[in-house]
Structure 1
């Protein structure tokens, strides 16, 4: 028969009651000499948020102590679990001694010791202890453990303090540390060292990075990362701060190395975003490096142009505003900052009104400017523009199913041009266009799928009044499914199409009830006159465009394909692009291919290149990553990298090797090796642990 004493020792003297009491359940309860309560068999005790189970509990009123016989399990209000063979504790389970004990924190870290002293419910002192987050089966030795003469767990600060500690791998001593402090698994942020990483490169030899994390208040932190090798002394830093309406992050590094012993090298990247009143959003980023090779040699970035920008925007249901100022800095051998142009400014406001003459009325006001540092024709040209445009769009559906779409536009632009004698300093231009698109959708349905076939015809007329202006923002136009039916296929505002054009197309869409989808688009454009802004690789040069063939497939198990081909009338390929994405529980694959013909205005050789980025989880413990880039024209790889990761419930090992094959005046080919070993379980902000193995009974 189970006995319940709802208020433990209610019949004892009031000093016990004044400390707070516990409820107790047991198979049998007896009282000896009027001051000893003995509970035996499946004992359960409850004190506030703490619980205890044991085989026997003896309460001695004269000493105000519990003598407990195990197996003992004590669960505290912060999730810690104590197990022991015997214990002597006060009735609140906050002070006393546990023998043959084990402490488990957040079901991750376990600390075994000959004895544990509980002090004020806050401190747990463990003597001759072993600490690990590995699954321990019976008496076997874990993969790794930290043995220490003494360990103190501070339940309030959520810290573990080690004295005379030794890290052991398979019980082999690896590292001795006289004093060590680590966060317990429930602490998300704590000042201290993070996981070191070993890095080996051809240029910088073998070095080690040892991050040190510093909490700076509740909403900011600083990470300092010394990086030392025989070839470099580097200090990396990252600062982050969260505000009520935004956040900022700054990454930087300062180096002294043997590669450029004449200068102190470094870089800085700062970015942030803030929510402003009236739905505005402010964003900024700053990028700078001391020399073109620094970012690549240290593995910080592969960018070949740096951009620092300040932008403000607002997006609402009926209007859109954006403004930005950007400074570009080139790291390429064949460019100079003076001719990029380095300074680009944009400002745009767009307003949309619905149900105007049965359609959609759109008004746009924008301005942009570029500035170069060099003087002289073309290379030093500065240009600014202010423009406005009004457009109206409406769709009609006839009784026979014919869909008619109309689009009418009227715009005006004022240009200011300097440092280029080939153009007048001031230019004014007026553009107008009218477009009619006809489509006749044909639909067929089955029980499991739907097919939609749309023949398409678009007729456009566009008139431009004004003198020619330099082309700064439409130097890389291309024909695609998005602009096939548009009156102007040039992406920028500096130059515009003019005259009559007709586009024909055919679009087929297939959908299934299982969520799979396929879309094919065929099209061609006929123009009244050729536009010099369309280069050879655009598919739009001359009066008759190439044939456009575009496909988008969304297939099974996260498999997606996107491709586009531009074919001339004689069957020659102008452009071919293909992209494949496949995401499953184990596979994450992204592969891309591009081929584009040579262009006398842009490049003397064709482009042909493969790129891929893949990760495959072989099992719950093993994952391999591989990515690369291959230049088919040069018949050589551009870059390649391989990563291998192994993880279990207590350890993560990450090994990477990468090779950059390209070279230039500033950059030499190099190979980079990386290795990190992370002992998981300490701090809630750490990496996600792998699967725990099962113990065989």
Structure 2
């Protein structure tokens, strides 16, 4: 069990000013009201040399000595460029270029509004001192008061005996009371000296020095620490440090002290160039005391993501990651991956694009967690694609080829080189009402396989050193788009009917002498019925003599919004398909495929239904099904019921029996009051008669602060079990309590919200299955 107390902080986004002199924050409709209407344009830039602008004065009464002093009384308004001062009285000393103003004083420029008792300003140096002032920063939620407020020549603010808050209310729930606050206008950060953080006018802690943002600009400094306790890690203390190296470089260091494990250090670096961007993560813990008995006291993880787009047509991409052991993501909250991911993909690619052709060189290595054997490495893959539309009489020509070397990570293991070529001629016909495609291609593949002489694997003993495979393919695909007008309960609607048919022919060729390097069986959902391949990759090209029939219908309202979509399709085999993977009995010796159905509809005003089904019509067995029912009557109001069923998803390592997934889910978020929200989800496995995950959170939120209490209990993934697929005996649950408190505007780690609670836990909202293609 883990209990965590964290102080989070955030910076509110820039807000939009209304004509009435108030700022509205779209997320929660919090409003900061100014004491007077805006006299200047808050979007206007600050003038670099305002002293050159003339001073204009309007007042009810005035008296002046030419070239020396001018005094004004009654509704005085002084303007200089985009700055304005209103007061009951004012005196302008022209030779000294100084201004004094008193009584109901208001100062405004594009950055700030200030009310004060009096003002003394130097117009040549452009600085001013105001006493007993209140201030509001334009475009921000920042406001407060000061015994004395100074505006420097650089347009910075120096506040003495002051307060700082982002609460919009006149009596703020929280504020900083400081001896001195300096707000830097260029860096858009505030430096605070000798401050008290006060909640409901009660001091809660003292800070000798700190910096806070007054915009979304980044700044180097410590972020708020977090403290947690757990039976697994002991006492955890994390103190992140953010380093704003440059406008396009930054680094976040996150040292974490765990009393049961040791010191864990995470580092995340980001960079952004004109033509490239990247992210680097490094994580390390030395001498992990809890895991030292497993022989891996030093544990680590790293990742690097990089993408570049060069002007001469080149594209570069790299995604590299590795970990010290398979259980790393289960034991640590990593920025690289989560405990629900069971593999790491390492990819490097360089591609060159032109109008009609492109070339790519790619290397890939996949690390599957919990598996003793690793997939083949791609070292490298060279591919070339050419497409020339309308080469003759409406014919399109395409040519694709790839040369791939598959390498094993151990010695004396199976390796291969594959060269594939695929010229294609197609004749497309397209109108708004119908489409027809005729396609002919020739698939030529050569294999050079390095089979170990002393292999004991029966699947490798039948492989040939050299294999040549030539397969033609014929594909005809047509679709008709029909529509009609109708009405339902007086509402005008438009319904479409979209039947389609495809004939596919590929002759049979025995491919048992070819190894399986990057090939797997594809899902037979509705879209998959109209593929021209039954397997991914090229190591198996299934023979086909089949007809696919499908129909979809949609209903649109008068605003052209889709209210319903239903699709139904099936493959009819005119002859058996004999090609299969060596470790699966997936030869097709039946008259038809599974019947695939998909449904998305708005059943009523606030009710939404989505589901899919793959039904074996020969045996009446369901191959896969998923269903969700949503009730969404308003913003942050949701009740979702879901069910998923997948037979034979895994094999129990001890019994050798197949394991089915038959799970029910409930997810909800609901406002209990205007400021209080409840979020929860519960998933139950009907086969194993136990819960998979339970999560509940309650959050109270105002314009000033938020507090959240959450409970989470979920089934842990543990690759140290007797086989990862031994699902029935994995009873390691992780239970945690978390309490998070946030003062809005005091920091930059991001606001609490209902949306991030919906994504908390193993199953994210509207993505609970992880099965869709």
TM-score range (shorter-chain normalised) is 0.7 to 0.9
Greater alpha carbon shift after TM alignment, 668-677 vs 532-541: 532-541
Larger Rg over CA atoms: 1
SS in 2 for 1:278: coil
CA gap 1:664/1:581 in 2 versus in 1, 3 angstroms: same
Distance 1:402 1:171 in 2: 71
Which residues in structure 2 correspond to 1:209-224 (within 5 Å)?
209-224=238-253
CA offset digits 1:385-425 (Å, max 9, x no partner): 11001122225699xx9975422121110112223332111
- 1:679 has 2:743 as partner: yes
- 1:669 has 2:733 as partner: yes
SS in 2 for 1:484: helix
Which residue number corresponds to residue 330 of structure 1?
368
Q: Would you say the 8 A contact 2:609–2:629 is kept in 1? A: yes
Which residue number corresponds to residue 203 of structure 1?
232
SS in 1 for 2:330: helix
Which residue number corresponds to residue 118 of structure 2?
86
- 1:102 has 2:137 as partner: no
Distance 1:431 1:470 in 2: 17
CA gap 1:457/1:240 in 2 versus in 1, 3 angstroms: closer
Distance 1:402 1:148 in 2: 72
- 1:510 has 2:554 as partner: yes
CA gap 1:455/1:24 in 2 versus in 1, 3 angstroms: closer
Distance 1:284 1:651 in 2: 41
Distance 1:466 1:115 in 2: 86
CA gap 1:435/1:182 in 2 versus in 1, 3 angstroms: closer
Distance 2:60 2:619 in 1: 94
Q: Would you say the 8 A contact 1:224–1:238 is kept in 2? A: yes
- 1:576 has 2:625 as partner: yes
- 1:308 has 2:346 as partner: yes
- 1:168 has 2:204 as partner: no
Greater alpha carbon shift after TM alignment, 128-137 vs 647-656: 647-656
Which residue number corresponds to residue 8 of structure 2?
none
Distance 1:681 1:482 in 2: 47
**Equivalent in 114, 117, 127 of residue 150 of structure 2:** 117
CA gap 1:508/1:62 in 2 versus in 1, 3 angstroms: closer
- 1:635 has 2:689 as partner: yes
What is the Cα deviation at residue 29 of structure 1? Answer: 1.8
Distance 2:79 2:349 in 1: 59
Given the two structures, how large is their TM-score scaled by the length of structure 2? 0.76
Q: Would you say the 8 A contact 1:587–1:614 is kept in 2? A: no
Distance 1:627 1:313 in 2: 44
What is the Cα deviation at residue 646 of structure 1? Answer: 4.0
CA gap 1:523/1:531 in 2 versus in 1, 3 angstroms: same
CA gap 1:314/1:287 in 2 versus in 1, 3 angstroms: same
- 1:406 has 2:446 as partner: no
Distance 1:565 1:688 in 2: 42
Which residues in structure 2 correspond to 1:154-165 (within 5 Å)?
154-165=184-195
What is the Cα deviation at residue 432 of structure 1? Answer: 0.9
Which residues in structure 2 correspond to 1:146-157 (within 5 Å)?
146-157=176-187
What is the Cα deviation at residue 168 of structure 1? Answer: 1.5
- 1:595 has 2:641 as partner: no
CA offset digits 1:174-225 (Å, max 9, x no partner): 2112222333x13612111223334444411342322221111221011112
Q: Would you say the 8 A contact 1:578–1:594 is kept in 2? A: yes
Distance 2:237 2:344 in 1: 28
Distance 1:61 1:277 in 2: 59
Which residue number corresponds to residue 522 of structure 1?
569
Distance 1:531 1:260 in 2: 49
Which residue number corresponds to residue 372 of structure 1?
408
**Equivalent in 567, 572, 589 of residue 616 of structure 2:** 567
SS in 1 for 2:312: helix
SS in 2 for 1:216: strand
What is the Cα deviation at residue 119 of structure 1? Answer: 3.9
**Equivalent in 289, 303, 321 of residue 258 of structure 1:** 289
Given the two structures, how large is their TM-score scaled by the length of structure 1? 0.84
Distance 2:203 2:104 in 1: 32
**Equivalent in 247, 262, 274 of residue 244 of structure 1:** 274
What is the Cα deviation at residue 452 of structure 1? Answer: 1.4
Q: Would you say the 8 A contact 2:435–2:479 is kept in 1? A: yes
- 1:186 has 2:215 as partner: yes
Which residue number corresponds to residue 12 of structure 1?
none
CA gap 1:465/1:388 in 2 versus in 1, 3 angstroms: farther
Q: Would you say the 8 A contact 1:473–1:492 is kept in 2? A: yes
CA gap 1:444/1:94 in 2 versus in 1, 3 angstroms: closer
Distance 2:679 2:582 in 1: 39
Q: Would you say the 8 A contact 2:576–2:588 is kept in 1? A: no
**Bigger RCO of structures 1 and 2 (CA < 8 A, at least 6 apart):** 2
Number of matched pairs = 660
CA gap 1:656/1:687 in 2 versus in 1, 3 angstroms: same
What is the Cα deviation at residue 454 of structure 1? Answer: 2.2
Which residue number corresponds to residue 267 of structure 1?
301
Which residues in structure 2 correspond to 1:390-429 (within 5 Å)?
390-395=423-428, 405-418=437-450, 419=452, 420-429=460-469
Which residue number corresponds to residue 398 of structure 2?
362
What is the Cα deviation at residue 585 of structure 1? Answer: 4.0
**Equivalent in 509, 524, 538 of residue 464 of structure 1:** 509
What is the Cα deviation at residue 250 of structure 1? Answer: 1.0
What is the Cα deviation at residue 368 of structure 1? Answer: 2.8
Distance 1:193 1:600 in 2: 46
Q: Would you say the 8 A contact 1:328–1:343 is kept in 2? A: no
CA gap 1:442/1:173 in 2 versus in 1, 3 angstroms: closer
Which residue number corresponds to residue 694 of structure 1?
none
**Equivalent in 523, 538, 541 of residue 493 of structure 1:** 538
Greater alpha carbon shift after TM alignment, 55-64 vs 358-367: 55-64
SS in 2 for 1:598: strand
Q: Would you say the 8 A contact 2:651–2:658 is kept in 1? A: no
CA offset digits 1:469-527 (Å, max 9, x no partner): 123333333323234245532222101222x5222424132332442241322213215
What is the Cα deviation at residue 238 of structure 1? Answer: 1.0
Q: Would you say the 8 A contact 1:285–1:309 is kept in 2? A: yes
SS in 2 for 1:249: strand
Distance 1:540 1:465 in 2: 12
Which residue number corresponds to residue 10 of structure 1?
none
Distance 1:208 1:537 in 2: 50
Q: Would you say the 8 A contact 1:202–1:672 is kept in 2? A: no
Distance 1:342 1:304 in 2: 17
Distance 2:177 2:70 in 1: 39
SS in 2 for 1:164: strand
What is the Cα deviation at residue 84 of structure 1? Answer: 0.6
CA offset digits 1:270-295 (Å, max 9, x no partner): 21111124333211122122222222
Q: Would you say the 8 A contact 2:630–2:641 is kept in 1? A: yes
CA offset digits 1:315-334 (Å, max 9, x no partner): 666445444212222321xx
CA gap 1:62/1:394 in 2 versus in 1, 3 angstroms: closer
Q: Would you say the 8 A contact 1:593–1:608 is kept in 2? A: no
Distance 1:181 1:245 in 2: 33
What is the Cα deviation at residue 93 of structure 1? Answer: 8.5
Structure 2 portions without partners, runs of 5+: 1-49, 453-459, 487-491, 722-731, 755-773
